[in-house]
């Protein structure tokens, strides 16, 4: 544990950042009453982290909050991080770095130099240095970064691993739970690199946590979460692997139509990579009678709407 004066300066820096970036926290909690089979016997709420900020995607803010505050405290002025061509993490980090005057080097999986995605166009506009890596180097470097072992020759440079999922991400994510005004029996959320699930588990909520895998990653995803938790709090969570729809970013017509339908009926915008798969899984679980009648259920809307923009 850091001495409390350090903890105080970190908290002060985090509060300052929250105000400077105009983060709208706490995010709203919204009652959700879909006409899905089995849903009328349940009490369903949505935590709208997609509304935390128009550009900084919901759970990426939660994960970056204390990491960015730490950079401010230590006067770090350069960051290296990783992601795919549509990464919500790089997008959120790129925007924050531009606003805070921190240099960002984004190492991107694959070569998009001829056809940059809208995400990469935004990064370039925000002054990010872009480096494209082939699959092998990307894998090597991200594994080192996740193990906190990627070295840089520059001083005052910090590496943030892929997805922003690192131990420093956990306390920011845990704040989602302290914002809730009531108890829930079940909390459902999408899982990509495991940081958000680990953050919720680390706060030991009374609710049972169900991560919905958005990619094919049985055992692998569980291991990522366990690594972040470092042996603590291993109970009351699981990852469901039947709802990834064929893999990361895979979205068939049914899923697309489902996202539109929810958006039309309840005015909650969904994208097919994360929140669409979460809501679709919730619908199927409710239909199967997975939850006891009367259960209080929270769906965590993690944001991610920028990633849904078509490649241009």
Ligand X SMILES: *Cc1c(COP(=O)(O)O)cnc(C)c1O
Q: Does 172 bind ligand X (CB under 6 A)?
A: no
Q: Are 36 and 70 in contact (CB under 8 A)?
A: no
* 163 is a site residue for ligand X (CB under 6 A): yes
Taking residues 103 to 142 in sequence order and writing x for each that binds ligand X by CB under 6 A, - otherwise, the string is ----------------------------------------
Interior angle at CA 20, CA 17 and CA 23, nearest 5? 80
Task: Please name the residue that has the structure tokens 């879909």.
Answer: 34
Q: What are phi and psi of 103, to 5 degrees?
A: -80, 135
Tokens 């489902």, residue located: 258
Distance in angstroms (rounded) separating the CA atoms of residues 120 and 122? 5
Q: What is the DSSP letter of 187?
A: E
Q: Indicate the helix (H) or strand (E) that contains 196.
A: helix 195-202
Asked whether position 57 contacts ligand X by CB under 6 A, the answer is yes
Q: Determine if 303 is a binding residue for ligand X (CB under 6 A).
A: yes
Our finding on whether 202 is near ligand X (CB under 6 A) is no
Residue showing the smallest CB distance to ligand X in the complex: 304
Identity of the residue, 91 or 186, whose beta carbon is nearer to ligand X in the bound complex:
91
The DSSP 8-state label assigned to residue 292 in this structure reads P
Contacting ligand X (CB under 6 A), which of 83, 84, 94, 195? 195
Per DSSP, 210 falls in state: E
How many residues touch ligand X (CB under 6 A)?
Answer: 19
Q: Which residue in the set 44, 53, 59, 81 belongs to the binding site for ligand X (CB under 6 A)? A: 59
| Residue with Cβ nearer ligand X (77 or 175) | 175
What residues make contact with ligand X under the rule CB under 6 A? 57, 59-60, 88-89, 163, 165, 190-197, 274, 302-304
């Amino acid at each position: 544990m850091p001495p409390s004066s350090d903890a105080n300066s970190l908290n002060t820096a985090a509060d300052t950042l929250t105000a400077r970036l105009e983060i709208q926290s706490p995010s709203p909690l919204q009652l959700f009453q879909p006409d899905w089979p089995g849903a009328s016997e349940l009490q369903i709420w949505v935590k709208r982290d997609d509304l935390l900020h128009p550009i900084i995607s919901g759970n990426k803010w939660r994960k970056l909050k204390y990491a960015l505050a730490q950079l401010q405290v230590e006067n770090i002025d350069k960051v290296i991080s990783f992601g795919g061509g549509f990464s919500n993490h790089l997008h959120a980090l790129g925007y924050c770095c531009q606003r805070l005057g921190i240099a960002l080097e984004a190492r991107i999986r694959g070569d998009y130099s001829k056809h940059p995605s809208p995400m990469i166009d935004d990064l370039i506009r925000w002054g990010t240095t872009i480096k494209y890596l082939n699959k092998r180097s990307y894998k090597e470097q991200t594994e080192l970064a996740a193990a906190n072992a990627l070295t840089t020759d520059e001083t005052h440079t910090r590496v943030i691993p892929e997805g922003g999922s690192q131990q420093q991400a956990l306390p920011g994510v845990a704040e989602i739970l302290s914002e809730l005004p009531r108890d829930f029996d079940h909390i459902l959320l999408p899982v990509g690199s495991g940081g958000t699930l680990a953050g919720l588990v680390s706060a030991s909520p009374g609710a049972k946590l169900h991560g919905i895998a958005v990619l094919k990653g049985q055992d692998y995803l569980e291991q990522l979460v366990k690594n972040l938790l470092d042996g603590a709090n291993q109970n009351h969570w699981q990852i469901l692997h039947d709802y990834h729809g064929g893999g990361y970013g895979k979205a068939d017509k049914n899923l697309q139509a489902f996202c539109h339908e929810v958006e039309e009926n309840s005015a909650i915008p969904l994208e097919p990579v994360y929140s669409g798969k979460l809501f679709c899984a919730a619908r199927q679980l409710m239909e199967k009678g997975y939850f006891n009648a009367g259960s209080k259920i929270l769906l965590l809307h993690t944001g991610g709407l920028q990633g849904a923009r078509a490649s241009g």
